[in-house]
Structure 1
Amino acid sequence: MTAALHLNDANLSPLAAVRSRIARAAALAGRKPDDIALIAISKTQTAEAIAPLIAQGQRVFGENRVQEAQGKWPALIEAHPDIRLHLVGQLQSNKAEDAVRQFDVIHSLDRASLVTALGQAMDKTARRVPLFVQVNIGAEDQKGGCAIADVPGLLAQARAADLPVAGLMCVPPVGIEAAPFFALLGKIALDNGLHDLSMGMSDDFETAVMLGATHVRVGSALFGARR
């Protein structure tokens, strides 16, 4: 369930090609492309590699690690204050304050201890950073995320702590058709009164768009294969 890759995409920059594919997938689903945020996943990329995307107008980027972001983004953001930085990797509770200070959105709320840590960090910094609850949608032991059955309870804890939960995030199992997992995440969000869905990466973002993604996390299709 993907939008066809048009031959004329080969004449576009990687960023323009990805945006074109998002637009086509959105059209097939009767959606507006502007309703889908493209997060350029810049983990392991240097500032020099990121600069061309910024020059082409990309302003939303994603990082996996707090320390890596602290090392390369302050100067880039100083030069381009409209950049918005998303944390898409696992977050340790002892890094919660650093994450709240550095990032504009956090996609990896997955446990009660992190609810507490993020609540304290937001109170201390006076920043209310939107959060996505990460769901272990494929029930994989090796992946982070909240178990599907535990989502309502974790959301209740987050809401009781007055945390700004925007939606749900998932990473489907590798090598399996992603569509059922994306559809399931959408149902869980709907059942729990949430709208935003952070789902879809380089190999499946078109499928995610057609199934309601509001945020897609694209790395290798923009930067090439990671070293």
Structure 2
Amino acid sequence: MSLQEIIEKIHAEEKRAGRPVGATRLIAVSKVQPLERIEQVLEAGHQLFGENRVQEAAGKWPELKARFPGVELHLLGPLQTNKVRQAFGLFDAIHSVDRPKLAKTIARIAEEEGHCPELFVQVNTGEEPQKAGVLPADADAFIAECRGLGLKLAGLMCIPPADEEPSLHFMLLRKIAERNGIEGLSMGMSGDFERAVALGATHVRVGAAIFGERVAPQG
């Protein structure tokens, strides 16, 4: 599937759902992708990308951003507190705010740096022990805690369990967002982004469908 085909599918789903065309932003997930594939997508004019690891992003994006002005980079994977300052210098948004210690570190560094990336709270909608994210039952309290620290929340993010109907998780995320007055919904990936768009996603995260299967790192 080409980048343009994915964009057309998103627009078609927005129309079907009665949403404005362009209401959903497409994050091209470039983690573990060869540089030439990323450059092809950049050369096609796409400017919004997502990475899972601070270190990997630091190794390629400063140079790419210098060559392709206007690129926006979002952190999608877990963030360690000792990498927060580095993340501030690399990313325009962080989709994985998921625990009080991280929220406090972000608040402190935002004050020191005088700016803060857009922030999304990650919700573990499937309550999977191996996944990061605040549990749905704890989400309201954590959102209130983040706001109490002075953090402005742009949205919520979820990664549904692989073996469950994703729409149920997208609806749960939307409910949590609505009752907390949060507009952003980062949900939907290569296999289910159309269902996410139909349920109000503001950001969909698509990797393999754009770039092809990920290339495993050597060594």
Shorter-normalised TM-score: what interval? over 0.9
Contact map agreement 2:118 2:153 (CA 8 A) in 1: yes
Deviations 1:149-191 (A, max 9, x none): 1111111111111112111000000022111110111011001
Deviations 1:52-102 (A, max 9, x none): 111111000000000000000011101122000000000111111111111
Query: TM-score when scaled to structure 2?
Result: 0.96
Counterpart residue identity of residue 113, structure 1: K
Matches within 5 A, 1:8-157: 14-157=2-145
**TM superposition outliers: structure 1 runs of 4+ over 3 Å:** none
Q: What secondary structure, in the 3-state scheme, does the structure 2 residue paired with 1:19 have?
A: helix
Give the Cα–Cα distance (whole angstroms) in 1 for the partners of residues 188 and 46 of structure 2.
Answer: 18
Which stretch of the first structure deviates more once superposed, 208-217 or 149-158? 149-158
Aligned with residue 202 of structure 2, among 193, 204, 214? 214
Q: Which residue of 1 aligns with 2:187?
A: 199
Contact map agreement 1:101 1:127 (CA 8 A) in 2: no
Q: Which residue of 2 aligns with 1:4?
A: none
Which stretch of the first structure deviates more once superposed, 200-209 or 163-172? 163-172
Count residues with an aligned counterpart: 215
Contact map agreement 1:199 1:205 (CA 8 A) in 2: yes
Identity of aligned residues (%): 47
CA RMSD of aligned residues (A): 1.0
Q: For structure 2, which runs of at least 5 residues remain unmatched after alignment?
A: none
Q: For structure 1, which runs of at least 5 residues remain unmatched after alignment?
A: 1-12
Q: What secondary structure, in the 3-state scheme, does the structure 1 residue paired with 2:200 have?
A: coil
Counterpart residue identity of residue 208, structure 1: A
